[in-house]
Structure 1
Amino acid sequence: MKESGADCTLKETIHIYHTNDLHSHFEKWPRIREFLLKRKAYHKERGEACFVFDIGDHIDRSHPYTDATRGKGNVLMLNEIGYDAVTIGNNEGITLSPSELSALYEEAKFPVILNNLFTGKGNYPGWTVPEGYLTTRSGIRIGLIAATADFSTSYERLGWKVTGPRFALEAAAPQVSGQSDILVCLSHMGSSEDDRLAEHTGGKIDVILGGHTHHLYPDGREVGGTLIAAAGKWGQYIGEVTLTFDHSEGRVVEATAKVHDTETLPIPDDDTSYDRQLRKKAAELLSATVFQTPYELRGGWAGPTALSDLFADALLSHTGADCAMFNSGIFLGGLPEGTVSGMDLHRLLPHPINPCVITLTGTEVEEAYELSLDAEWPDIRLKGLGFRGEVVGAMIHHKMGRGSDGRLHVAGNPVEPDRQYRLATLDLFTYGFFFPAFKKAKKEYFMPEFIRDVLAGYAIRKFGAPSS
């Protein structure tokens, strides 16, 4: 871009630290905090440029503190360290209501860089900027571009518009590069898309800091003249990129990456108490009574229970579907007779899972029902897809099952092969991993409510609101 005002024979080192996909795993946050604060102080003392970025999915509402504060507690943690910029992941983008997301960064002391998310009217949200610029003391200008993964159906359901992240970044890179000495991309779009971005931009991007697919590059990767760095997931690693900028050439002449294993970092005084204190604070924030149940609601993974029956009724009431199917492993315990608080509900159903209705033919309903009877399902250990439990558990069927005539019945009537039925289920089953027909079928997602919200709403109507 321009020649820096510093001595043109000077080579300068710039340090970048990055985190991604913490998912509110705060167990190692005290170590991350102390490490980054000490590194920032060290570089400042040496007169070296140092920047810290987060690449999204810092929040995860499966943690009660994040849920209770709607992510604002996470933002305060980033402020405490002094992050220079962040972008959002899908957990920020689609697990909060539009008003909650718009308010998330109200107290942020850093910009939110995001190039591919828009309001329903096609404008950039007021809490974002499409690009950012940071300047070192010597005058080196660092341009920032960023994008988040394309969960278009979910974003549209919430009233946002999201465009293809790679294409947005490819369009932004030449312009921002032209106004910068160094171009850094904060990418929450996944490893394969990062590779394609590097290939298609021909070295215009100096560094891509990646996330979303939880990939780990201990030494970084070089693709098409761009360094790609990524630090795994859950705060297990902190990434570090070191750039050598040659003022005489006006460009980066060397770029290296490494990661720091947080398991090996010095242990702060609050290392073991930090997460415990956050959970204690969450219990206080979520202590209000949501409803009162006149009888105990026991959970269980082996089959239907009073709790699964109540949830099934709630699911059908909320969605208006013909029948329901879900796994018993979503219930992490039960509910006692009497008062049920917000914290009780969160302990029971911590998952960031939304209800969904899938429209299927009778033949497809029959196929799905048969697949759901697999004897191996109850013991399958499941990670990801929003599920925060241990095992899948038995499949629960509501308003569907074999009649005395041996035929499958839905809502009391034999299934007709060509008739269309609306099946209420959980969004985690819509990706085709368990039921292939679900992937291409017509789907209606109910957002932003989680399944615990659906249960709570129905229980309030059934048992009555708590007395003031």
Structure 2
Amino acid sequence: MERELPVLKQQCDVVVLLSHLGYFMDERIAADYDIDVILGAHTHHRLDPAIEIEGTLIAQTGKLGTDLGKITLQIDQRQVTSKEGTLQSIDAAAESSLATEAVLERLQQSADASFREGVAVLDRPLDISWTEPSTFASFLVEHLRQWCNTEISMMHSGIILASLREGAVTKGDLHRICPHPINPCIVEVKGSNIKTAIERSFTSKMVHLPLKGYGFRGVKLGIMVFAGLNVEVVETTEGEYDVLSILKEGSPLIEDKWYTIAVPDMLTFGNLYPEIVQSTSKRYMMPELIRDVLLWALMKNTES
């Protein structure tokens, strides 16, 4: 902002900021910078009408696509003289427009056709468990490691919502069991921080956490699973977990050594795993989603 805004102001008449920082950060930006409009998101505020702070109009349309936002700017002599923002229910807009209904129907038909497309044929089922080791979780985390070409990978088993039976698998099946808009990510983390993150993951609170956000669309996080690491864990009589050992190629992790790990990007956000979030080396693999890695893995194994 400090570097780019003065340059932009010399090149244009109106400055609109697309923000996914949340309403409270948008308030700070509006107070500190000369911006005409902030189109915000993340905190799911529904601002109707939009709010003006220090000459900056802040607009947010809630969540889940329930509303359309409309911004009206009055410009005179290349200066914005007035501004306002309102919302309109998406249901009301769709019902009042035959053209919109036709577009939605066409898109739905296209999606349905794509979902019916076959991608693989399994000769045996892939079973998932959120509380115990399972073939499906092991399968995906290993192929996440291979796809990212890292020495280690780790993910929560809850990223897979259901098992796959033997037989034909379609794109619709993959979307149903892995609906998350989550990208693979490669991070560098010290051995000591990996150990802390693993111990944090094996608590009943984390395993059964009904996470909402960070792209996660599952029921609960589930246990952490690994490739490139041998993690020995036992469940206690109180329903908690004890991490007995963490070994890489038969040896404990070196605390001060940096390791390259493939993870779902959700582990690099918020306060789930500060040990991973604080890494200064993160490479987000885009536009591929974890679902694309699963598709690649299934096709690769079907071909072989």
Normalising to structure 2: TM-score of the pair?
Answer: 0.78
Distance in 2, matches of 1:356 and 1:242, equals 39
1:238 aligned to 2:54? no
Could you tell me the percent identity over the aligned residues? 28
Q: 5 Å matches for 1:67-466?
A: 164=1, 167-177=3-13, 183=14, 185=16, 187-188=18-19, 190=21, 191=23, 192-193=25-26, 195-197=28-30, 199-201=32-34, 207-213=36-42, 214-241=44-71, 254-262=82-90, 267=95, 278-398=107-227, 399-402=229-232, 406-431=244-269, 433-441=271-279, 442-464=281-303
Alignment-mate amino acid for residue 446 of structure 1: M
Match of 1:73 in 2: none
Contact 1:322 1:411 in 2 (8 A): no
Measured in 2, the distance between the counterparts of 1:350 and 1:176 equals 40
The answer to whether the 8 A contact 2:19-2:26 is kept is: no
Tell me which moved more, 294-303 or 186-195: 186-195
Residue of structure 2 equivalent to 1:158: none
Summarize the Cα distance change of 1:400–1:421 in structure 2 as closer, same or farther, 3 Å threshold: farther
Q: For the residues of structure 1 that align with 2:284 and 2:166, how far apart are their CA atoms?
A: 32
Structure-2 change in CA distance of 1:332 and 1:403 (3 Å): closer
Q: Distance in 1 between matches of 2:108 and 2:162?
A: 18
Q: Greater CA radius of gyration, 1 or 2?
A: 1
Distance across 1 between alignment mates of 2:85 and 2:48: 7
**Does the CA-based 8 Å contact 2:41-2:60 persist in structure 1?**
no
User: Residue 264 of structure 1: CA displacement?
Assistant: 6.5
Kept in 1, the 8 Å contact 2:9–2:15? The answer is no
SS in structure 1 at match of 2:164: coil
Q: Residues 127 and 164 of structure 2 are in contact (CA less than 8 Å); yes or no, is this contact kept in structure 1?
A: yes
Instruction: String of CA shifts for 1:315-358, please: whole Å, max 9, x gaps.
Output: 22223333332111111222221222222222222222222233
**Segment of structure 1 superposing worse, 224-233 or 325-334:** 224-233
Matching residue's letter, 1:366:
K
For 1:461 and 1:266, locate their aligned partners in 2 and report how far apart those are by CA, in whole Å.
42
Aligned mates of 1:323, 1:358 — CA distance in 2: 10
Cα pair distance change 1:447/1:263, threshold 3 Å: closer
The root-mean-square deviation of aligned C-alpha atoms, in Å, is: 3.5
Q: Partners of 1:243 and 1:455 in 2: how far apart?
A: 46
CA contact (8 A) 1:378 1:392 kept: yes
Paired amino acid for 1:456: L
Cα 1:414–1:274 shift into 2, 3 Å:
same
Counterpart Cα distance in 2 of 1:242 and 1:276:
30
How many equivalent pairs are there?
290
Q: Which amino acid aligns with 1:434?
A: L
Gaps of 5+ in 2: 235-242
> TM (normalized to structure 1)?
0.53
Deviates more, 1:322-331 or 1:185-194: 185-194
Partner deviation per Cα, 1:282-313 (whole Å, 9 max, x = no partner): 13124333222111112232232221121122
